[in-house]
Amino acid sequence: MTAEFHDGLDFIVKRDDWRQCRFVPAAVESELQPGQVLFRVDRFAFTSNNISYARAGDALGYWRFFPTEEGWGRLPAMGFGDVIRSSHPDVPEGDRVFGFFPMSTHLAIEADGVTPRQYIDAAPHRQQTALVYRQYSRVRGDPFHTAEREDQHMLLWGLFFTSFLVDDFLADNDFFGAQTFVITSASSKTAIALAFLLAQRGRGKVIGLTSRGNISFVDGLGFYDEAVAYDDLRSLAADVPVVLVDHSGDGDVIDGLHHHYGDKIKYSCLVGGTHWSASPLASDLPGATPKFFFAPSQIQKRSQDWGAAGLQERIGEVWVRFRDSSDEWLSVVHHTGRDAVERVYRDVLEGRSKPDQGHVLSLWGRES
C-alpha cells in the first residue's frame, strides 16, 4: 500500500542516546507567512557522515537546524525537495532544490536572498548557523545538475565539498611539509574523496587506515597507495613528515598514530567521527596538536580569495570527475517508508552498512 501523509512526519533521535529514535507526527503549515516556502522532502542520503552531525550537534549547532521536542533532535541530511506551496514572489511552486533537509516529509523555510541559482533559509533559529548549511540550490540554475545523477549528488557532493576544502587547506599551507598522508576511516566516502584529491596532486604517499574487513575495498579503489588495518598501524614507516586526517573520531586510533609517528606528525586534522562510540581524544599527544577542521572557515577564506564564482568553478572542475568515478565503486540502494528509514539509520549507526553501498531514503512511496 502506498503511504500517504495528510500531516507531516519527522524522524527524531535522542540527543544523549542516539540508539533511541522514533517517528512523530508533525503539523504541515496550511497558511504560509509572507516569504515562507514549503518543501515536500523528496529523498535524502544517509551515510556515516550524518552520525558525525549528531556527534557535533551541540558543538557546531547541527541540532539547531530543525528544532523538535526537548531532548530530541532531527538529523540534517543532504537531499532534494520540491516547493509545494510558496508565499515568496520569486519562488514558484514546483521549484526543485538541493540542500540540507531533515529526515522528514516536509520542511518550511523563510526564503531570502533569492537568485536564479539559490536561496537561503533566514528563519531565526538558523541565523547563527554557517551560511553554507542554509543554502538551497535550485536545480534549474545548477550547471552540474542532471536528473540521472541526483543520487550520486546527494551521497557525495557534501562529503566531496568538505574533502575539497581539506585538500585546499593543506595545499594552502604547503601540506605542512608532509611526504605521507594518513587517512583514517579510509572506506568512508569523505575519506575516499580526500584520497582521490591527494592522489591527483601526487605530493606524497596516501595511506588509508581501515578495519580489516574493508582492506580489499579500500585497496581496490586505486586512490590509496597503501591500505592498512588499524591493528597493523605500527608497521607503517615513521621516518618521514606526516599529515594525519582523521575521520574516525576514535581517541585510541589517534593516540596510537601520534605515539607511532611522534614529532613526524606535522599536522593533525580532525574531520569526522565515524567511530562515534570510541574513546575520547587524549591531551598532550606527541606531534602536532589535533585540530578540528571547520569547513565554513575555509569557504569564507576562498570566497574572499577567488570570489564565490571562482570557488564554484574550481570545485566543479574536479567534482564531475570524482562523481563519475563512483560508478566503479559505489552501488546506490534506495529505501522508502518509515521502517526502512529506521533500519538504515540503525545499520549505519552500528557500523553494519557496507562501504560500497550508498543509501538513498524517502518517506514517500511503497515500503521497501
Q: Residue 280: its pLDDT value, please? A: 61
- Helix/strand number for the chain, H first, E second: 7, 17
Cα separation, 91 vs 36, whole angstroms? 9
Query: Any bridge partners for residue 151, and if so which?
Result: none
How far is the C-alpha of 44 from the C-alpha of 364, rounded, in Å?
11
How high is the pLDDT of residue 3? 43
Give the pLDDT of residue 2: 40
- What is residue 316's predicted lDDT score, i.e. its pLDDT? 87
| Residue 242 burial (10 A CB sphere; 0-12, 13-18, 19+) | buried
Which residues in the chain show pLDDT less than 70? 1-6, 273-282, 368
CA atoms within 13 A on the CB side of 301: 10
Residue whose entry in the numeric block shows the C-alpha cell 564564482: 309
Q: Which three cell numbers stand for residue 84?
A: 509545494
DSSP 104: B
pLDDT of residue 282: 67
> pTM for this one?
0.89
Rounded Cα gap, residues 10 and 140, in angstroms: 28
**Among 190, 172, 194, residue whose Cα is nearest residue 181:** 194
**CA separation for the pair 313, 308 (Å, rounded):** 9
CB-side neighbour CA atoms (13 Å) of 190: 28
CB 50 within 8 A of CB 77: yes
DSSP string, 273-325: -SSTTSPPPPSS-SSSPPEE--HHHHHHHHHHHHHHHHHHHHHHHHHHHHHHH
CATH number of 158-296: 3.40.50.720
**Nine cell digits for residue 140:** 534549474
- The superfamily in CATH containing domain 8-145+330-362 is Medium-chain alcohol dehydrogenases, catalytic domain (3.90.180.10)
Cell numbers for 95: 521549484
Where exactly are the structural domains of the chain? Answer: 8-145+330-362, 158-296
Residue 367: what pLDDT? 74
Q: Among candidates 114, 156, 155, which has minimal Cα distance to 138?
A: 114
Give the dihedral of Cα atoms 125, 131, 136, 140; nearest 10 deg. 160
> Per the structure block, which three cell numbers stand in for 264?
613526524
C-alpha cell, 293: 577542521
Instruction: Tell me the chain's radius of gyration from C-alpha atoms.
Output: 21
